[in-house]
Chains A and B, each alone.
Chain A
Amino acid sequence: SQTIHQWPATLVQPVGSPLSLECTVEGTSNPNLYWYRQAAGRGLQLLFYSVGIGQISSEVPQNLSASRPQDRQFILSSKKLLLSDSGFYLCAWIRNTEAFFGQGTRLTVV
């Protein structure tokens, strides 16, 4: 069966520190992968999406970047975190027009 893994579940990082969040999908090949961010009490903002290895589309210019080094791996990174980067980050993929989400990473920048 297909599953999506995302880690870590929670993270507290100081301002100016780097970030790396990883998402992997099992049981499928060549999935469309997505990174979303949700600020407290807000909606889901699409950050990046990828339709294949090395193919990244950015939705919002910001302090973050994404990479897809392998077919089923999607990484969200930052070189220097800002306070405004705090939020709930969700990785997702779509199968048969249904989106499946990882458990999310709650990032707090202090």
Chain B
Amino acid sequence: QQPVQSPQAVILREGEDAVINCSSSKALYSVHWYRQKHGEAPVFLMILLKGGEQKGHDKISASFNEKKQQSSLYLTASQLSYSGTYFCGTEDYSFGNEKLTFGTGTRLTIIP
């Protein structure tokens, strides 16, 4: 089953903050975050491997609540370059095979 992201879309002015949430109905072993620019392939942002882990670089960070099966991506003081669609990804190790499933996506638009 596909993780559900919220909100589906958000429009911000440059400099504002955003939070994107990712929820799964299955237990999460890890959470990936990716950003996709229009017409391009997704690009890896970060991965969280442990419950309670928080990670970040530049002004983008993320947290992982293993018990709640949720992860959140935080974008602080957003820049025009942050525009794009953000996807969370979850790994499933059913039957010993690694399967990477992406969330429903959140379209972020930053306006000047």
Report if A and B associate in a common complex: yes
A residues with CB within 8 A of B:
32, 34, 36, 42-46, 49, 51, 57, 59, 90, 92, 94, 97-104, 106
Tell me the smallest distance from the CB of B90 to a CB of chain A, in Å.
11
Contacts of A42 in B (CB 8 A): 105
Assess A32 versus B101: contact at CB under 8 Å? Given A98-B47, A103-B41.
no
The segment from B13-21, B60-68, B75-83, B92-100 that touches chain A is B92-100
Assess A46 versus B98: contact at CB under 8 Å? Given A99-B44, A104-B41.
no
Bits for B31-46, please: 1 = Cβ < 8 Å to A, else 0: 0101000011111100
Candidates B40, B42, B49, B98; contact of A94 at CB < 8 Å:
B98
CA distance A104 to B29 in the complex (A): 28
